[in-house]
Amino acid sequence: MDRIKVLDETTINKIAAGEVIERPASVIKELVENAVDAAATRIVVEIEEGGISYIRVTDNGRGIPADEVPTAFLRHATSKIESDKDLFGIKTLGFRGEALASIAAVSHVELFTKTREESFGSSYKIAGGVEENLSESGSPDGSTFCIRQLFYNTPARRKFLKTPMTESAMIYDLLIGLALSKPHVSFSFINNREEKLHTSGNNNLKDIVYQVYGRDVANACIELINADEKSSIKGLIAKPSISRGNRAFEHFIVNGRMIKSQLLSKAVEDAYKNYSMQHRFPMVVLHISLSGEDLDVNVHPAKTEVRFKSPQAVYQAVFDIVTASLKSQVLINEADLWSNKPDKVIRNESFLREENKYTTSEPKINENNFTPNINKKENTVNNAKQDSGNTGFHDNNKRDVEYYTERMKERVRAYYSGETASETPKETNKEAPDELPFLREDARKFHRIIGQVFSTYWLIEFKDQFYIIDQHAAHERILYEQTLKALREKSHTSQQLLPPLVLQLTLREADILEQHMDSFTRLGFEMEDFGENSYAIRAVPGNLYSLNSKDLFIEIIDGLSEEACSSLNPDSIDEKLASISCKAAVKGSREMSEKEVQEMIGNLLELENPYNCPHGRPTILAMSKRELEKRFKRII
């Protein structure tokens, strides 16, 4: 058996480098964080071939005194802590003293540095952990690190690097995060002699977002500020219209340190859940400050993770402030119908022909000979009765048909009198106050309902915009919040089943049912044990009565059997149950009357979030008069 022996310093440094230095981006992270700790206000990063062959990081920080330069490259040499007691109050980004030693162990390093107090700077060369030269140099204040041939002496690790383009992209993403975490520092990134990123360092976070992500993202940002005696949360979150298919836009900075955190991601994503589509992630930049006692930053070699002393309190604080900020905003999306598409000339020959049905010699319609298509309306009403359930939207009786007939006659009379018929009050023709939003009770008198498109979308004119409402998405949201409210206030309604529905469940399904029996009861289900894992359902929620009760019940059970449900709180269970109510929503491709739409708008006004269905789809889109005029070339 081999004897136990102490490894030599070179081998130790290479092993340590494997923990800290994984790729060029790791080198840059360590050097940039050291520059920030040295009070730099300007940092320039230059790379070639993805940083594999060449990296240069220049800063205007304090620099390293000449007599301390060799010491800086020793393992565990640091100016940022002195004892283990300092680990509980770390205010710097780096503190382990491993970065320079790890970088020097696997590359050729050349350092030029000078402090403000020194007349001359220092030039230092070290390769593979072996010192080569130390001399005086005419250097500017600050430090410049040149890293060449990364992993030249560990080829096995070098071959695991990605292509230069991929490595460059990782560095770019890293610097974006660093720029957002330190808005008072100006960052420049030069890739193969071409500048790819430049931030002003003016300490205005929104300006940094503009410089990094562009105008559209910056304009969609909402500012957050929340503080108490022990902590503070500030930063920016983007409106739900700005999202990505991954978490690349989620930036979390804790005590000035850029980190990754499943806890913080979950808090933010839970707050956005009802505003975003599934598998879409928000753009956020959150700066969180905590006391050193509430945080452990010494849990990861690369310092990319932290441990919270009270994770639930942190989760709740982030969730609450993001939720409150989203609720405070008008989140109606702009309809960007022609985004990035060239103008097209649409030719519809049947529309342009003289023999079009609107220009033929058919008899003109007037008030006396007008007869609406009653059969069509009756069929629509009957169909609505069959597939809508107890939705509250359809008045399935003779009066609905009479109303429809009178409405059409009004339109004919208005046509011949030169007037415009509308069910909305006369105030529609008056100008609405500029500050009045679309979804306000006192704004309804200014709404002008234009009509329904494709039996699914309703167009409404208001001030200098028109709004498009998706009747299915809007009704889904209404039912969801109404059901959730009924669950929490225990004000459900039930519909009896005769005869009762008997279900045979597996042992696992029966266990899930028993765990959540109270929630099912609050939703409106009435059931009892029927023996041998069978249950008799004697009543179902009133708004779900028309749906297939057996399939619906099994679907609820399946939803609650997900592994994640084991950690959900009662509110989350209620949200899952309430989402089932969406199945009773009025479908698209079904005609609705203006009276029904008025009722739907009235219901939307009462919601916490009228802008998105429970699955994140928008309920309302807006388009401005100006945008239409631009598209029709009325303005340039």
Please write the tens of the pLDDT for every residue from 451-496: 888 889 999 999 989 899 999 999 999 988 888 888 788 777 788 8
* C-beta separation of 243 from 282 below 8 A: yes
Q: Does 285 lie in the same domain as 319?
A: yes
Q: Does some domain include residue 417?
A: no
State the DSSP H helix or E strand holding residue 541, giving kind and residue range, or none if neither.
strand 534-541
Q: Does 624 lie in the same domain as 486?
A: yes
Q: Does 632 lie in the same domain as 503?
A: yes
Q: What DSSP character marks residue 56?
A: E
Q: Does some domain include residue 20?
A: yes
Q: Does 51 lie in the same domain as 22?
A: yes
Q: Does some domain include residue 375?
A: no
Q: Does 214 lie in the same domain as 188?
A: no
- Residue range of the domain that includes 428: 332-362+422-636
Q: Does 325 lie in the same domain as 222?
A: yes
**Mean pLDDT score of the chain:** 79
> β-pairing, 108-114 with 186-191?
unpaired
What are 34-83's pLDDT values in tens digits? 999 999 999 999 999 999 999 999 999 999 999 999 998 987 666 554 44
Q: Does 453 lie in the same domain as 566?
A: yes
Q: Assign residue 341 a region: left if phi > 0, alpha if psi is -120 to 50, beta otherwise?
A: beta
DSSP assignment string, 502-525: EEE--HHHHHHHHHTHHHHHHHT-
What are 381-407's pLDDT values in tens digits? 444 444 444 454 444 344 445 545 555
* C-beta separation of 473 from 389 below 8 A: no
pTM more than 0.75: no
Which pLDDT belongs to residue 530? 87
Q: Does some domain include residue 400?
A: no
* Angle at the Cα of 331 from the Cα atoms of 328 and 332, rounded to 5 degrees: 145
Q: Does some domain include residue 411?
A: no
Q: Assign residue 532 a region: left if phi > 0, alpha if psi is -120 to 50, beta otherwise?
A: left
**Of 274 and 573, the one with more pLDDT:** 274
- The residues with which 286 forms a beta bridge, in sequence order, are 235, 252
State the DSSP H helix or E strand holding residue 579, giving kind and residue range, or none if neither.
helix 570-580
Can you list the alpha helix ranges (DSSP code H) found in 220-356?
Answer: 262-272, 311-327, 349-352
Phi (first) and psi of residue 167, to 5 degrees: -65, -40
Using alpha carbons, select from 490, 510, 597 the residue that is nearest to residue 553.
Answer: 510
The count of structural domains within the chain is: 3
Which pLDDT belongs to residue 387? 42
Q: Does 340 lie in the same domain as 322?
A: no
What is the share, in percent, of the chain residues with pLDDT greater than 90? 36
Residue 433 burial (CB < 10 Å; 0-12/13-18/19+)?
exposed
Last residue in a domain, options 198, 225, 258: 198
Report how far residue 222's alpha carbon sits from residue 575's, in angstroms, rounded to the nearest whole number: 26
Q: Does 237 lie in the same domain as 316?
A: yes
* C-beta separation of 136 from 113 below 8 A: no
Q: Does 129 lie in the same domain as 69?
A: yes
Report how far residue 224's alpha carbon sits from residue 87's, in angstroms, rounded to the nearest whole number: 30
Report how far residue 569's alpha carbon sits from residue 50's, in angstroms, rounded to the nearest whole number: 46
Q: Does some domain include residue 571?
A: yes
Q: Does 354 lie in the same domain as 312?
A: no
Q: Does 209 lie in the same domain as 186?
A: no
Extract the tokens encoding 266.
């979950």
How many C-beta atoms surround the C-beta of residue 367 within 10 A?
11
What are 208-258's pLDDT values in tens digits? 999 999 998 999 999 998 877 678 999 999 999 898 888 989 999 998 989
* C-beta separation of 495 from 523 below 8 A: no
Q: Does some domain include residue 194?
A: yes
Report how far residue 422's alpha carbon sits from residue 432's, in angstroms, rounded to the nearest whole number: 17
